[in-house]
């Protein structure tokens, strides 16, 4: 069902803190990207395991055909955690030195709020503009429901970058919120979405992060294709 993908290390965590993160497609899975970025932020050493390309659960999640998302899965010394927000909270408790949330109480509450909004909302955007790091779809048709989602996402970008000064949503350190919104930045790039200057600069900053570049490069090497997600812009 799964195959090992090697060992990742971020921040020099102790050797005994080796964990396992199970992911699905790097090319298509926004949830796997979020979980992986959270692990990298935490500083824990972790081993990556990828589900097989024909795994039924992973495929159903990619196609939004399931009521819950169970991949990625973090296994830390027998403690099993799934759901990216749950993983974020677990890692925040386990690795407080990583400062995955802002230090200020009000900023921390806001970070959790926008992270939760991304986690549970924007269904039109998810369905119409699926993550696909292999693809580039300029002039892709974007209907009104998707435009409303894009408008709200970019509002969040502008509000937080303005309030906290950037280059990340809550200042100079990457937070859980940036990990949650990183897949949206890939969607904006794939479908060549026209953004305001502030949101465009943030998108470019996130996509240029070394971890994002590494993830994207690994995604390019995946041969598997999910035909339903290879949309061509004809509705």
Per-residue pLDDT of 118-157, as tens digits, reads 999 999 999 899 999 988 999 899 999 999 999 999 999 9
Mean pLDDT of 13-26: 76
pLDDT value at residue 158? 98
Residues 172 and 191: their CA atoms lie apart, in Å, by 28
Angle at 147 between CA 145 and CA 153, to 5 degrees: 110
pLDDT value at residue 18? 85
The most confident of 10-19, 49-58, 72-81, by mean pLDDT: 72-81
What value does the mean pLDDT of the chain take? 86
Residues 37 and 40: their CA atoms lie apart, in Å, by 5
Q: Please state, for a pLDDT cut of 70, what percent of the chain lies above it.
A: 80
Banded pLDDT at 70 (limits 50, 70, 90)? confident
Q: Go through the domains of the chain in sequence order and give each one's CATH number.
A: 2-98 (3.40.30.10), 105-219 (1.20.1050.10)
Dihedral (C-alpha) 115, 187, 84, 148: value to the nearest 10 degrees? 40
Mean pLDDT of 8-28: 71
Query: Pick the residue with more confidence: 228 or 18?
Result: 18
């Amino acid at each position: 069902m799964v195959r090992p993908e090697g060992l990742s290390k971020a921040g020099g965590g102790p050797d005994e803190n080796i964990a396992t993160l199970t992911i699905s497609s790097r090319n298509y899975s926004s949830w796997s990207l979020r979980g992986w970025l959270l692990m990298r932020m935490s500083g824990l050493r972790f081993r990556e395991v990828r589900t097989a390309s024909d795994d039924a659960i992973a495929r159903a999640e990619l196609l939004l055909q399931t009521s819950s998302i169970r991949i990625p899965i973090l296994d830390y010394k027998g403690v099993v955690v799934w759901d990216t927000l749950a993983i974020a909270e677990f890692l925040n408790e386990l690795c407080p030195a990583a400062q995955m949330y802002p230090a200020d109480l009000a900023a921390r509450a806001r970070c959790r709020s926008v992270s939760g909004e991304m986690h549970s909302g924007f269904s039109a955007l998810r369905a119409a503009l699926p993550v696909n790091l292999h693809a580039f779809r300029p002039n892709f048709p974007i209907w009104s429901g998707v435009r409303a989602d894009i408008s709200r996402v970019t509002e969040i970008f502008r509000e937080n970058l303005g309030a906290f000064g950037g280059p990340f949503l809550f200042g100079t350190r990457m937070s859980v919120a940036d990990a949650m919104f990183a897949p949206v930045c890939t969607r904006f790039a794939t479908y060549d979405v026209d953004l305001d200057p502030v949101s465009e600069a943030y998108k470019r900053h996130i996509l240029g992060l070394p971890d994002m570049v590494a993830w994207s490069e690994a995604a390019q090497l995946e041969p598997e294709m999910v035909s339903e997600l290879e949309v061509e812009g004809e509705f």
